[in-house]
Amino acid sequence: MTHSDRLLGHAFLAACLAVTSALADDNWGDTPYVQTPINVVERMLEIAKVGRGDYVIDLGSGDGRMVITAARKHGARGFGVDLDRRLVALANRNAARAGVADRAVFYQRDLHATDISPASVMSIYLLPEVNLMIRHRLLTTLKPGTRIVSHDYAMGAWPPDYQEELAAPGKKVGVGQRSKIYFWVVPGRAAGRWRWSLAPDGKPVDFSLSLNQNFQVIEGTLRSGARSARVESRLVGETIAFAATLDGVKYEFSGRIFNHAIDGKARVSRGDKAQELPWSATRVEIWDPRHLALTLEQTLKEMN
C-alpha cells in the first residue's frame, strides 16, 4: 500500500466516523458502517461469479445488501455478521422484504469469531488493517478455490487475481465517487518437490519439479536428467499450469492438485509436432508456502 493509499484510508475512516457518529454505540467495531453502492455490490457478485450453488459470507454485513442481492439475483445462500444489532435487525428485515429470509440470514457476531469455513464466496468491505488482520485466517480456513471479493481495500502483499475501478454514483466516502474491487481465489498448496514420468515417444522420461510458493505465485526449477529450466506461474485455487522448454522440447503441464498428487495433462511439442499425454505427479517433499510463515506483526507492517 502506498503512502497516499494510507492517507486515503485514514481520510476514509475520519469521513465514515463523521457520517456514522449518530449511529455509534457501545458495540461499534473497528470498521465503521458505510454502504457499498448497489451497482458496486452487483459488480462484486458478477466478478466473483456468484451462482446458485454458492454460499456467500459477508463479514461486516451492514444492511445485508451483499448476501441479499446474492440470494435474490443469483440464487445463492449465505449469511452476514455485524457487531451492530440494529444493522443486523435491519438486514434480517430487508431479507424478509426481498423474500429471501430462508437463504440470507444475519447474526450479531464479531467477524473475528465467525466460522468462515462454509464459504464458497467471501465478501468484505473493511479497513485495510482489518483485511491484513484476517488474511492469514482467510488463507488457512477457506477451502482452496474459495473466491474473495473486497470493496476498496487490498490485502497487502497478497496480489489480487483481478482488480478494477468503477464509477460509484452516490458514494458518500472517498474521492470522485469511484470504487475499487479486488478479487482473489484462495490458493491450494503446491510448494515442495514433485516427481513424475512421461513417455512422449514410448520412452519414459523422468521429471522433478521444485516449487516455492508465496500466496498464489509459484516459482521453481523443472529438471529432467542433466537439463533444467526455470518455472514461474500462478495457481488458481488448486489448478496448476506451467510451461518450460528443455533441450528444444516444449512441455506444457496443466492439472489439479489433490493433496500430494496432481492429475492433468501434458502437451509435448518439438517443432510443429505435438502430442498430448496424461500427467500424474506425486509430491515427494512438502514445503511450507512462504506466506504462511508470516507473523501478524510482519503482516501488519505491509501497511507501511
Ligand X SMILES: C[S@@+](CC[C@H](N)C(=O)[O-])C[C@H]1O[C@@H](n2cnc3c(N)ncnc32)[C@H](O)[C@@H]1O
Pick 108 or 210: Cβ nearer ligand X = 108
Question: Considering beta carbons, is residue 183 or 196 the nearer one to ligand X?
Answer: 183
- Any contact of residue 31 with ligand X (CB under 6 A)? yes
Measured CA to CA, the distance from residue 145 to residue 154 in angstroms comes to: 18
| Binding span for ligand X by CB under 6 A among 81-89, 208-216, 222-230, 258-266 | 81-89
Q: How near is the Cβ of 157 to ligand X at its closest, in Å?
A: 23
Half-sphere exposure of 34 (CA within 13 A, CB side): 24
Cell 446458485 belongs to residue: 52
Which listed residue (12, 13, 55, 61) binds ligand X by CB under 6 A?
A: 61
Say if residue 124 is exposed, middle or buried (CB neighbours under 10 Å; 0-12, 13-18, 19+): buried
In the chain, the DSSP E strands lie at 55-59, 77-82, 104-108, 121-124, 147-151, 162-167, 178-185, 192-198, 205-214, 217-224, 227-234, 239-246, 249-258, 261-270, 273-286
Say if CB 122 and CB 180 are below 8 A apart: no
The contact mask relative to ligand X for 226-245 (x = CB under 6 A, - = no) is: --------------------
Shortest Å, Cβ 87 to ligand X: 5
- In the bound state with ligand X, the residue whose beta carbon lies nearer, of 56 and 190, is 56
Of residues 140-179, those binding ligand X (CB under 6 A):
151
Q: In the complex, which residues of this chain contact ligand X (CB under 6 A)?
A: 29-31, 33-36, 58, 60-62, 65-66, 81-84, 87, 110-112, 125, 151
